[in-house]
Amino acid sequence: MRIILVRHGEPDMEGFDSGKDGSYGEWLKKYNAAGINKKKKPPAELMKTIEKFDVVASSDLKRAVDSAQLIVKNKVIMRNPVFREFELPDSKKKYPKFTPGIWSVIFRLLWFFGYSNKSENFLDAKKRIKLSAEKLTDLVNKHSEIVLVGHGLMNRFIGMELKKTGWKKKRNHGTGYWSYCEYIKARSPENGEEALKEKVKR
């Protein structure tokens, strides 16, 4: 069995520089609504790796959905908010004029230590990580192979959760946009029978 976790492509943030004036909350909303820069193509090796995969899951954020549509073309994409990136604390306050990237790092560190400001906290995020891994496992038990197009940090934690249940990391291709990681696991006899029944039904 095989699961491939793909990070979305580079977000299209052209004209989205308002965060530099300290209005980080507004920048964050624009970022979460942004699609991807389609001029930055996914690597050929990724396309070749997933070309025969029939089952594709995705976070429901636009940058993940757009990425999934680009790499799988006409295949059905199962969108699910459970695969979303961890939320960052939002705020309408004005902050010192650091770049949005710097503020994202600062807020992420604060988030790990318990600051959430009404967004999803780290304890709730841990529950979602486990649920995400369970959903992927259920899908791969039925279909043998699956691609998830998601987000950098969330994918990393999903991978850690998969390893706890016996999955092994076979390959890791970077950490940037369009990076991906492959996990494999031998099918148990029970799961093999379930997969066969599923194919017969189709």
Q: Which CATH architecture has domain 2-201?
A: 3-Layer(aba) Sandwich (3.40)
Q: Which residues pair with 150 in a beta bridge?
A: 7
Q: Convert the pLDDT of each residue in 77-102 to its tens digit.
A: 999 999 999 998 866 666 667 777 88
Confidence of residue 29 (pLDDT cuts 50, 70, 90): confident
For residue 153 the two structure tokens come to: 């940090």
Confidence of residue 196 (pLDDT cuts 50, 70, 90): very low
Q: Where are the domains of the chain?
A: 2-201
Q: What is the pLDDT of residue 202?
A: 47
Q: Convert the pLDDT of each residue in 175-195 to its tens digit.
A: 899 999 999 999 876 655 555
pTM, full prediction: 0.86
